[in-house]
């Protein structure tokens, strides 16, 4: 199975082309959120490096959130367009699971973390299984650092925190968790589309490409304002719109 993996969910941009477990091409940049102008050229470059035409891809795998609103829209829209126009399978995976997948030590608890501003984070708790894949223990969530530390209090073992945004919260995490707080090596802090592709090999494709949406985990400011003005309206669909 030939896969195209796309992650634009946060500041880094990562694209990979795989043939089952073999990596044919991969590019990861951390130059800022100019994904709208760089994603398609990097995809074209990656396919050329892999010596494949787009029609040769069997499955597109995309990081579906949480993360940057704009980044998620760019990645998901691109993946949906490729999948629909080429009649290919589409798989969406947690952006946090992709980051957790950089840690491969079996049995290890891992907390991937993205900054969500205002002392809030996007995070989840994962345990690495015997095959080196992350399995969700506590669901992905948008949460304050203080509340997250309260949830982690139930786990009396070392927890590896991974992600470039961990540094901003390291002092608070260290204070609350003590010796259980373990910082991942810096080279593991960027999400890798190779990990996304490997995880996406065995995942179930979406049934309806048109209905597939990012998992934002929170509302936009405009949506929050609208809800405040319309408290009796059904709010469920708004967070899902692209």
In this predicted model, what pLDDT tens digit does every residue of 35-47 receive, in sequence order? 999 999 999 999 9
Bridge partners, 22 (sequence order) = 19
What confidence tier does 19 reach under pLDDT thresholds 50, 70, 90? very high
Give the domain ranges of the chain: 2-95+191-238, 103-188
Q: In what order do the strands lie in the sheet with 134-144?
A: 134-144, 120-128, 109-117, 159-162, 181-183
Pairing of strands 109-117, 120-128: antiparallel
In this predicted model, what pLDDT tens digit does every residue of 145-177 receive, in sequence order? 999 999 999 999 999 999 999 999 999 999 999
Q: Do residues 21 and 201 make contact, with C-beta atoms less than 8 angstroms apart?
A: yes
Architecture of domain 2-95+191-238: 2-Layer Sandwich (3.30)
Q: Is 103-188 the same fold as 2-95+191-238?
A: yes
Q: Whole-model pTM above 0.85? A: yes
Q: What CATH superfamily classification does 103-188 receive?
A: ATPase, nucleotide binding domain (3.30.420.40)
């Amino acid at each position: 199975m030939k896969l195209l993996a796309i992650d634009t969910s946060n500041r880094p941009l990562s694209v990979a082309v795989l043939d089952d477990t073999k990596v044919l091409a991969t590019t990861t940049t951390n130059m800022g959120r100019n994904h709208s102008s760089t994603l398609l050229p990097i995809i074209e470059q990656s396919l050329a490096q892999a010596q494949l035409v787009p029609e040769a891809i069997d499955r597109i795998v995309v990081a579906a959130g949480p993360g940057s609103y704009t980044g998620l829209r760019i990645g998901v829209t691109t993946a949906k367009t490729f999948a629909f126009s080429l009649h290919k399978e589409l798989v969406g995976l947690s952006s946090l699971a992709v980051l957790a997948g950089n840690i491969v030590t079996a049995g290890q608890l891992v907390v991937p973390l993205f900054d969500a501003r205002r002392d809030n984070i996007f995070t989840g708790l994962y345990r690495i299984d015997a095959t080196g894949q992350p399995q969700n223990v506590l669901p992905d969530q948008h949460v304050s650092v203080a509340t997250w530390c309260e949830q982690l209090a139930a786990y009396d073992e070392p927890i590896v925190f991974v992600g470039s945004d961990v540094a901003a919260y390291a002092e608070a995490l260290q204070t609350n968790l003590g010796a259980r707080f373990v910082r991942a090596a810096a080279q593991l802090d960027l999400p890798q589309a190779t990990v996304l592709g490997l995880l996406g090999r065995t995942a179930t494709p979406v049934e309806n490409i048109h209905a597939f949406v990012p998992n934002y985990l929170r509302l936009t400011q405009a949506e929050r304002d609208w809800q405040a003005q319309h408290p009796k309206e059904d709010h469920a669909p708004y967070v899902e719109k692209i």
